[in-house]
Structure 1
Amino acid sequence: MIEPLRVLQTKPLLTASIPIKVPREDIHKVMGPGLAELKAVVTVQNVAIVGPWFTHHLRNPGEVFDFEICLPVATPVAPVNRVKPGQWSAMKIVQTTYHGGYEGLGSAWGEFMGTIKAAGHRTADGLYESYDVGPEASTDPSAWRTVLSRELVET
């Protein structure tokens, strides 16, 4: 289930990120280890995390996922191995929240994209998923919340 669309303006946000490019079927193999690596580097550098972790898919996912695992941070991180400093730009986005387990994200994205199109919005390539409530907070997948976002293109 997804919530109604929200349109909002974001502010710039410093990030620590790890770029990853993997076949679709390997996403579950790289997500947890990548997030753990990212959190370890941020912790060692004593950089504060200022919100939920998220992924930024550089282009719409197909057979290959080309994305970044990101943590919003209070101050820039120093690059270490795969970890890079970055920034989420200010942008106008359309957003919804999906309620449920990760296995339903594909269907949620399809519903979200259909709702965006029906509302007459145009979006840029790429997407964002923010993991607000997940397995670390609840063992019940129906309690999980994933925020889905797309950048809007002005017409």
Structure 2
Amino acid sequence: MRTYEIQVGNRNEQPTAVAEAVLDVAELGSWLSRQYGAIAGVLAAHGAAPAGPPFARYRPEPGGRFQVEAGFPVAIPIESVDGVRPSVLPAGPVVETVHMGPYDTMEPAYSALASWVHEHDGELAGAAWEVYLTAPEAQPDPGTWRTQVVQPYRIH
């Protein structure tokens, strides 16, 4: 069984530039790749740049689909343009960990974060997000991919 090192932190609100869709799991990889390229292009065309690695938040929908919000943190809020809109990653207490390996093996990271929160008399506070620290195009071996999982929570 894999163990995860849990880090506790407090985040400031982070402006982001995102695209959104409701997708099946099978559609996620190709959609994310297209969107990250498109969002980076929109930012560049407007004199902006990502302020960190790409991220995605997944909210379950009926029928096994997910509402996906994916994009980049930015230094200052953007205007909506060409299917890219402003959003934020929330401020407040978070627990986070880093998963090493393929994306389809990340569920234990989410479980480790949820367990830590419950063991410390807290409750999950909204959707977690994944920060993709390794670009699959640059590192094709999924066993080496590093993904930070960030879960907001609150204390009872």
> Could you tell me the TM-score, scaled by structure 2's length?
0.85
Does structure 1 conserve the Cα–Cα contact (< 8 Å) formed by 2:126 and 2:153? no
My pick for the range that moved more, 114-123 or 126-135, is 114-123
**How many Å apart are 1:93 and its aligned residue?**
0.6
> Which residue number in structure 1 is paired with residue 25 of structure 2?
24
**How many Å apart are 1:68 and its aligned residue?**
0.5
> Which residue number in structure 1 is paired with residue 134 of structure 2?
133
Q: How many residues align?
A: 154
My pick for the range that moved more, 113-122 or 67-76, is 113-122
> Which residue number in structure 2 is paired with residue 69 of structure 1?
70
**How many Å apart are 1:81 and its aligned residue?**
2.6
- In structure 2, how many angstroms separate the alpha carbons of the residues matched to 1:10 and 1:74? 15
Which amino acid letter does the alignment assign opposite residue 108 of structure 1?
A
1:1-155 equivalence runs, <5 A: 1=2, 3-57=4-58, 59-60=59-60, 63-155=64-156
**CA RMSD of superposed structures (Å):** 2.1
Which amino acid letter does the alignment assign opposite residue 29 of structure 1?
S
Q: Secondary structure at the match of 1:146?
A: strand
Compared CA separation, residues 41 and 2, structure 1 to 2 (3 A): farther
- In structure 1, how many angstroms separate the alpha carbons of the residues matched to 2:147 and 2:37? 19
Q: Secondary structure at the match of 1:150?
A: strand
Q: Secondary structure at the match of 1:135?
A: coil
- In structure 2, how many angstroms separate the alpha carbons of the residues matched to 1:154 and 1:112? 14
Compared CA separation, residues 43 and 23, structure 1 to 2 (3 A): same
Compared CA separation, residues 153 and 79, structure 1 to 2 (3 A): same
Which amino acid letter does the alignment assign opposite residue 103 of structure 1?
D
Which amino acid letter does the alignment assign opposite residue 96 of structure 1?
T
Report % sequence identity: 23
- In structure 2, how many angstroms separate the alpha carbons of the residues matched to 1:71 and 1:44? 15
> Could you tell me the TM-score, scaled by structure 1's length?
0.85
Residue segments in structure 1 that go unaligned for 5+ positions in a row: none
My pick for the range that moved more, 113-122 or 132-141, is 113-122
Residue segments in structure 2 that go unaligned for 5+ positions in a row: none
